[in-house]
Structure 1
Amino acid sequence: MIYFRISLVILVGMALSLISCQWSSSTTSLAYKLSPASLAMQVLRQYGQDLTQLDSAVARLRHAVATGQQAERQRQAFLAARRAWKRVELLAEYYSPSTAKLLNGPALGEVEEFDQQQRVHAPEGLQVLETYFYPALYKPAQREEVLEQVAFVQSSLLGLHHAAETLSPTDRHLFDAARLEVFRVMTLGIPGFDTPASPGAVPEAAEALAAVQATIAPYQPQLRTRHPSLAVRLDSTFRAVQAYLGHSSAAHFDRLEFLVAYANPLSQQLWAMQQTLGIPAFKEVRALRPDAGSLFEVGAFDAVGFAPTSTVRPTVAQAALGRQLFFDPVLSGNGSRSCASCHQPTRAFTDGQAKSVAYGGRGVVLRNAPTLLNAALQRTQFYDGRVSFLEDQVASVVASPVEMHGSLATAARLLSRNSSYRAAFAQAFATEPQQTAVQEQHVKTVLAAYLRSLIRLDAPLDKYMRGQREALSPSARRGANVFLGKAKCATCHFLPLFNGTVPPGFERTEAEVLGTPARASRRPRSLDSDLGRGGATGIRWQEHAFKTPSLRNIALTAPYMHQGAYRTLEEVIDFYDQGGGAGLGLDVPNQTLPADKLHLTTQEKHDLVSFLHALTDTAGLGHSAPRRLPQFPSAMARLNYRKVGGHY
């Protein structure tokens, strides 16, 4: 079985190498060339040497396990292998992401959604190995399992070696990869995403950032010539980063201070160096803009990077028209309910209900109304993630019998009979061939354009990260470190969006099984019956999984969880502190949230709430609703009695 896996990984690695070679060849000719290829090749040679060092570290780990060395020596060998991985992570993640995931993916089983047999693929790699060494050493009977995992890591490394032989890195790619690695350290490394049980997050961050320094080292002589003061600042920052990391233990590490005082300046100075050397950023549309110098700078994220097409950017006119329609009940089946009925701006676009009132007041819908602020910055919509794009979400909500019980086709016909709306649509789509009637697709487009305008990333935390140290209270600063450290919140609610969209690529939004009980209780009797993602896909392993929502504006969006089980943030924190449903005694075999208790103190819980309040940003929402709605001709006079925002 081991040999089969090794052969399979080698074949995968060779295929990835070919793809990587073709991709590199096609892009190299387009990339700006600052320097002779020898500079980039210096980086590639260092990468090869680091891969060889990783090979050796994994071999030493295998020897330590095979010979049954003392527990502490085996752990040290494991930690050394992980640190060696961090030296190659920068280019491995950039050029060979699939192989990188095999080597360092989460220790969670996965089921391919197209697999009708629903086979659970057991996780493999370094994070799985961690579970054998922490918190307790594996049992002697498990030694062969550990050796099998080590063999898998070694075989995966062959794929990286093959890919490295064919790479042709350019200046632009290397600087892009370097800055992304800093962002990876900030969002995944420091919070302990890939070291959930071991104490290696801080020293691993030091290794990863040392690799960043090595990557840009060949270019520093030119920087010293062109911008001596920036070269001095950058050298000083790298020394300060290593000193701060080198004198900190995981238990007492001030993660917030590291982010604001060390990591942020480092990424900004790397971007300044790239600009000074005349190396342009990529022009492609990405979720995180290619020219973002910091994760927390204004405009770092581009909502179009999450849209179904990045070739057409929403216009101001389209967003304004979408805003008008958002508050207009004309979209609903009875002309009474609007989008704003359940997504109220004064409540951060929620409704304050455990479950939203159903259409016509007949009962409630399955789940509550999530905030729409920053909803555009995620890869899936709805709690069960059943659609990918806002346009599809709009269509689903309008057609839902329990939500708006309408039809986009019917709405388009009604809007076509309103001269104001007809003119507004003509203006919003002036670059397209003129239509005599409002198009169904255009209705979806303008509503999605409005939702993409609801980006709010200027909370007190954002201000603090931009250097306004007075923006956070002492309690909120302590709470930030609880969030990033002991409470492990940031391993699911990733910085800086605080949702489940995984940085630094922001290409997927994760769902988690928390074991949410049917009712809030310290001794719950049953798991909530909602199957969540599993209900949408039919995959048993995904039953009770729900999309990780944004925590931005969380102080305004009570009650919490998909069905409003918890009324306060304190209750939610206590649920996590107990280890979710499994920690409370419920049978949740597929729970992805660790069932271990966090042992948060009363003060830590209080500080955590203070920090969550510092994620509030509802700027400019006080005048969201239009003053009046367009009037219909006398033949449709009944529609002229509709209310702005509709009825609940």
Structure 2
Amino acid sequence: MKDLLYSLAKTYLCVCLLLFIVACNNSKGKSYDSIDKSPEEISALYSDYLVKAVSNLDKIDISKIAKEDQKKYYKEARKYFKLLEPILAYSDKNNYKSLNAPNIIQVKGETSMDTRVMDPIGFQVIEENLDEEKIDTLTLNRAINVTSARLKLIHKNLSLSLKDHNIIWLIRDQIVRIATTGITGFDSPVLNQSLLESKYTYQTLIDIVNICQAKFSSKEIKDKFIVALESAQKDLDHDFDTFDRFNFIKDHTNNQLALLVEVQKDWKVKFPFEMALSNTMTSLFSNDALNVYYFSDHLNDTTKIVEKQQFGKELFNDVSLSKENNMACATCHVKDLAFTDGRKTFDKNQTRNTPTVTYAAYQQSFFMDARAGSLEGQVVGVVKNHNEFNMTMDSVVNRVLKNKSYKKKIADLYNNKRIGLNIRHAIASYIRTLNTFSSKFDKNIRGEESNLTEEEKLGFNVFMGKGLCASCHFPPVFNGTVPPNYNDTELEFIGTPDSKDTINPKLSSDLGRYLLYKTEEKKHFFKTPTVRNAAVTAPYMHNGVYTNLEEVVDFYNKGGGAGLGIANEYQTLPFDNLKLTQKEIDAVIAFMKTLTDEEY
């Protein structure tokens, strides 16, 4: 009997030891608890901030409390909205966009022919109305009530599903959001507390990283990442107008992005696919920061891509694609002029200035009125335009197939019979190569060179701050496609005049977006172009009215069309006038000149 008990006890101890070894192996390298409760804890954090944002909004009773108290409760509500921003903006993009929208009329559903004109809601609407000397109580009460109700609905339906790659994406999005819109005054039009609010959002990232400590194999990497976030947070304690955004991005943003790649390696994260931001980006201003194929109709069509790009270059320069065999894409988009033509308009038949196609890949809409949804779609527009190629796509296909070399390339490069689509894809693939991020500015902010002058740095800081240029021209591309999701390319009404006459200025007669759908609220709206290579792409504006950058900056400094005295209802510039000094104006121009790629 003793022998039997001894044998059972020995077996039991062996099983326990084996289980202990297995458990140790499963948690090998983990410095923290093996039980990962991070999704639940992030949800709890999110829930707490939602409740506090709503609680403070609901205290803004215009009829019962003083104006100062109204502003106090708004600031608290806004604080918690910013604290929840990283999670809301990732998990519920549409609601975040609505709640953080500018105080301008929203037009939705044009392309589906279900046009709806909607009054804006959200924090910016409340902020601007609270600042009015005479408050429009109906508008303000509606904004408060609808905003509060929306947040309550989000809280009621709260259901976060965050895997490791989702958390990494969430963190990366917010790091980029802070650098591209958070520190620019993009969504704090009156209080001008963008830097403080960016500190709030960093705090949420710090809290999330600490919540996720069980995911780390290396405590050193976790601590290093926390220190990087806290260091940036500390440097944001600064005056808005004099804040050094250049060094903030160079020293903090780029460092955080590089460290985040270390974190995801430590977590052994496997990404199911790439979004607009590259999963391995280590710098905001590099040609691999953005996934260029995210903006393509053919996301996965990258086989033999170099050959397709070369084929597209041949087609781009081929005049046989036009009816009279006298016009190619390259006729208007001249390489030496950064793919513009140097003219006000190409000829008497054209009403709009030729834009650069450098960096054109990073958009969600094309042509100045945003009538095409992709580069491939834009090719069709050029082909069919009576004042350009004046052809049908079928006719272009026939001409391409008559060229033996082209016919062979189509067969070799594309495994389908959609010849027209393949031609368009090849041209678009070539255009997607025209984004080198090789300018003096790019090399300096990446730390590869150190020859940016103090004036040029000042120009970037004014562009990104006091000048509010970056509230429409978002870095790193400096166009109107909104980071960090890059799902929308914005159109603006800035009041461009038809001539340089400032005595009797008249609004340009081009109705822009209105001509497509006849939406009254979209008269004179045009897409926001890139300012990269602006020094070599004069003249400027949709009608080529300004011949140099000095005139362009002067126009904005005065307040756009309204500042010139052109009456209009829907101008979207977020300022009356900028009040820039001559030193600041000169600096902004100097900065824009540093955005010229080395090949131009």
Q: TM-score, normalised by structure 2?
A: 0.90
- From the superposition, tell whether residues 116 and 504 of structure 1 become closer, same or farther in structure 2 (CA, over 3 Å): closer
* Residues 249-648 of structure 1 mapped to structure 2, 5 A cutoff: 249-280=239-270, 282-313=271-302, 315-357=305-347, 363-429=348-414, 432=415, 439-468=419-448, 470-594=450-574, 596-619=576-599
The question of whether the paired residues in 1 share the 8 Å contact of 2:276 and 2:290 is answered with: yes
Q: Which residue matches 1:167?
A: 160
Partner Cα separation in structure 2 for residue 368 and residue 288 of structure 1: 31
Question: Aligned equivalents of 1:456 and 1:119: distance in 2?
Answer: 39
Contact kept in structure 1, 2:441 and 2:452, CA below 8 Å: yes
Which of 193, 217, 225 in structure 2 is aligned with 1:234?
Answer: 225
Partners of 1:242 and 1:390 in 2: CA distance: 39
> Is the contact between residue 39 and residue 162 of structure 2 (CA under 8 Å) also seen in structure 1?
yes
1:393–1:35 CA distance, 2 compared to 1 (3 A): farther
| SS of corresponding position for 1:365 | coil
Give the secondary-structure state (helix, strand or coil) at the position aligned to 2:526.
strand
- Report the equivalent of 1:11: none
- What does 1:157-196 correspond to in 2, within 5 Å? 157-164=151-158, 166-196=159-189
**Alignment correspondent of 2:146:** 152
1:324 is displaced (CA, Å) by 0.9
Q: State the secondary structure of the residue aligned to 2:230.
A: helix
Find the aligned partners of 2:380 and 2:598 in 1 and give their Cα distance. 26
Partner secondary structure for residue 589 of structure 1: coil
Name the stretch that deviates more: 556-565 or 534-543.
534-543
1:383-409 per-residue CA deviation (whole Å, 9 max, x = no partner) reads 011011111211221221111223432
Indicate the larger mover: 177-186 or 478-487: 177-186
Which residue of structure 2 aligns with residue 631 of structure 1?
none
CA distance in 2, matches of 1:66, 1:185: 36
Looking at structure 1, the residues matched to 502 and 470 of structure 2 have their Cα atoms a distance apart, in angstroms, of 24
In the alignment of these two chains, the number of paired residues is 566
1:283 maps to amino acid: P
Which moved further from structure 2: 538-547 or 303-312? 303-312
Secondary structure of the residue aligned to 1:382 is coil
Offset at residue 180 of structure 1 (A): 0.7
| Match in the other structure for 1:82 | 78
Provide closer, same or farther for how the CA distance between residues 325 and 238 of structure 1 changes in structure 2, counting only shifts above 3 A.
closer
Single out whichever of 557-566 and 465-474 deviates more from structure 2. 465-474
Residue by residue over 1:485-543, the C-alpha shift from the partner in whole angstroms, topping out at 9 and shown as x without a partner, is: 11100000011111100111000100000111010232343111111111122111111
Can you list the C-alpha shifts for 1:335-383, whole angstroms capped at 9, x where unaligned?
12211111000000000000012xxxxx231211110111111011100
The letter of the residue matching 1:174 is I
Cα separation, partners in 2 of 1:75 and 1:256, compared to 1, 3 Å: farther
SS in 2 for 1:490: helix
| Distance in 2 of aligned mates of 1:592 and 1:483 | 17
1:38 maps to 37
Contact map agreement 1:578 1:595 (CA 8 A) in 2: no
Cα drift, residue 119 of structure 1: 4.9
4+ residue segments displaced more than 6 Å = none
Counterpart in the other structure of 1:132: 129
Match of 2:8 in 1: none
Helix, strand or coil at the partner of 2:492: strand
Residues 368 and 512, structure 2, Cα contact 8 Å, conserved in 1: yes
Deviation at 1:618, TM superposition (A): 4.8
Alignment check: 8 A CA contact 2:286 2:437 kept? no
Question: 1:57-89 CA deviation, whole Å, 9 max, x = no partner?
Answer: 3234x15x4433253x43333222211111111
Q: Deviations over 1:535-554 (max 9, x none)?
A: 12211111100000011111
Report the CA distance shift for 1:180/1:615 in structure 2 as closer, same or farther (over 3 A).
same
SS in 1 for 2:231: helix
CA contact (8 A) 1:374 1:454 kept: yes
Shift of 1:197: 2.1
Residues 158-215 of structure 1: CA deviation (Å, up to 9, x unaligned): 1221232x22322221221122111111111110111122221111000001001111
Structure 1 gap ranges (5+): 1-33, 358-362, 622-648
Contact 2:505 2:566 in 1 (8 A): yes
CA distance in 2: counterparts of 1:393 and 1:594, whole angstroms: 30
Q: Residues 37 and 170 of structure 1 are in contact (CA less than 8 Å); yes or no, is this contact kept in structure 2? A: no
C-alpha displacement of 1:99:
2.0
- Residue number among 245, 248, 253 corresponding to 2:236 in the alignment: 245
AA of the residue aligned to 1:204? E
Q: Which residue identity does 1:169 align to in structure 2? A: L
Distance in 2 separating the partners of 1:356 and 1:172? 48
Tell me if structure 2 keeps the 8 A contact 1:202–1:250: yes
- Percent same amino acid among aligned pairs? 31
What amino acid is aligned across from residue 128 of structure 1 in structure 2?
V
| Counterpart-to-counterpart distance in 1, 2:503 and 2:486 | 37
SS at the partner of 1:120? strand
2:217 corresponds to 1:208: no
